Amino acid sequence: MTQTIADRRDIDFVLYEQLNAERLLKTEKYEGFNRKTLDMVVTEARNFALKEFLPTYAEGDREGVRLENGAVTVPQCYKRAHKLYCEGEWLALTQKPEYGGQGLPHTFAQAVFEYLIGSNYTLTMYGILACGSGKLIELYGSEKVKNLFLKNVYTGVWGGTMLLTEPQAGSDLGSITTEAIPNGDGTYSLKGSKIFISNGEQNLTENIIHPVLARLKGAPAGTRGISLFLVPKIWVNDDGSLGEFNHITCTGVEEKMGLHGSPTCSMALGEKGMCRGYLLGEENKGMAGMFQMMNDVRLEVGTQAFAHASAAYLYAVDYARQRLQGRKLGDADLASPQVPIIGHPDVRRMLMSMKAYVDGMRSFTYYTAYCIDMAGCASSEEDRQRFKGLVEILTPVVKAYCSERGFDVCVQAMQVFGGYGYTRDYPVEQILRDCKICSIYEGSNGIQAMDFLGRKLGMDKGRVFMALIAEMEKTVAEAAAHEELAPLADRLSAALTSFKETVALIGRLASSQDFNTAFLYAHPLMEVTGDLAMAWMLLWRASVAVPRKDDKKQAAFYTGQIKTAEYFILTALPVTLGKMEGIRHAGDAALGIGEEAFSS
């Protein structure tokens, strides 16, 4: 099988031809970088991923993790790769160099993540979580806490997690009961239990740093009374040395469908001794801090699913080119040789569908990362706020839509492999299993849809939504100037008109007494938004490609951009129009049916 887990030519197309991300390097924030340096980073990420991460992918899945006496042992093959992962400084790519980060633009970091996640997401996740906990320390920790923890977390010397969920409080974080009591010396004692904690215990690092949501005695009910604490597995003395065990213990490890190399732990705090931590930020304002981290993570989850899809698609293309089966359609000569299945129309249909979604998701995730960069370095405050708004409204869509369509691409890839895809002989079986979690964790997709409808569409009195529509309409106008794209532009324009009408209708319902009916259609509305984002990104790609399609050396690549946009807009967008029609009918049958009717 090929070892192509990401498409470098397409990555460069998105970075330099579609987004023109090189202009970021002309801003004050990123003026220390140049294209040559960033290209070298991406190239080295590819080499590292293929050489060190990919060989551990199947082996780590089959070995899995073990829990004995509260200690978790990860796959043995992970140890060397993780050590090199840290030594190569791949963890904190976008974080500040003074704290151990690399300071890269988020847009270019996307390319690195493609290779790392596509080669072994489970192993990459150890670094992602460490970096996430470090970001909370950077934003909300005191100078003492930063000095004690931050560099060790960003460089991977210590691991990191997020301790949110409790048995009685899954997505309802306002119901958590873990308690924190001031000790009078600037620390707090914590007691409680948490579940579904990724990498909550492992033997890759000498210490693990846990951001923990907990409630102070007498705090207001619900999310208004939640505070955020930093709890190390091993207490860190004021001089930076490691002290005693801090009584945060792994009590169980889940048996999961995928991610077998990552322990998903149940954790007990203060069960058999004092468990101490530091307050991050202000008392009773922990949710604001945690949501800062969660927003970053939700873009990463969309990237995780997309990277799985990209790898699965490329494996499927390679297999389809090599797998001989049947004769050409219409060839009645039984003596004719078998042909590669890539020549069969139905296989072409599946590959084209996969390509459309993979290309669209690559552009969509990179564009959102680009908006993050521009929100931090645009020359005017007006532009910074505009890009910040785009990040806010797109984040739930990136997380939810890419996690669902990314998984669908993995399913189609398995179908291309046929029976072999369902076996462990080929990697798509594991890729599919590992990808599924993306639609479930970090806020399930139903919650993302509710956030999109309930919060994001109405931001700034609807101006953020209209700014997003304006970006899409700008692409439509540019495409319409090309004769061969004009019919596609017209179709997307009509779909956007229908979309605005649909959003207006559901928005009115959401602010009325029929809000329950409106939220029946939150997920379909989010899905429609993702479909339109795909059409937008693919049409944008085609607009870039049209002037370049006569380049003899790259004609196939650029023509492929145009054909992919044509395929999606002519075959998938009509289905989206049907979805919008269903939403506008706003039937309430799902609410009107009695609960007993759902059982047999």
Active site residues: 442
- Host H or E run for residue 478: helix 463-480
Q: Residues with Cβ < 8 Å from 50, sequence gap 6 or more? A: 3, 5, 115, 119
Report CA-CA distances (Å) from 533 to 90, 326, 354, 399, 472.
30, 38, 16, 13, 8
Of 434, 411, 392, nearest to 301 by C-alpha is 434
96 vs 140: CA distance, rounded Å: 15
Of 541, 572, 571, nearest to 559 by C-alpha is 541
Tokens for 13?
């197309």
Of 200, 202, 262, 322, nearest to 57 by C-alpha is 262
Label the pairing between strands 264-269 and 208-216. unpaired
314 vs 322: CA distance, rounded Å: 13
DSSP for 253-277, written as a single string: E---SS-TTS-EEEEEESSSS--EE
Indicate the burial class of 352 (C-beta count within 10 angstroms; 0-12, 13-18, 19 or more). middle
Label the pairing between strands 276-280 and 188-198. antiparallel
- Host H or E run for residue 188: strand 188-198
Asked whether 86 and 102 are in contact (CB, 8 A), the reply is no
Report CA-CA distances (Å) from 462 to 291, 294, 396, 500, 586.
22, 23, 17, 11, 21
Of 442, 364, 374, nearest to 398 by C-alpha is 364
124 vs 133: CA distance, rounded Å: 15
Q: Residues with Cβ < 8 Å from 341, sequence gap 6 or more? A: 320, 323, 324, 325, 326, 347, 416
149 vs 230: CA distance, rounded Å: 10
Asked whether 190 and 180 are in contact (CB, 8 A), the reply is yes
299 vs 587: CA distance, rounded Å: 32
Query: Cα torsion for 132, 387, 30, 381, to the nearest 10°?
Result: -120
- DSSP-derived secondary structure letter, 23: G
147 vs 139: CA distance, rounded Å: 13
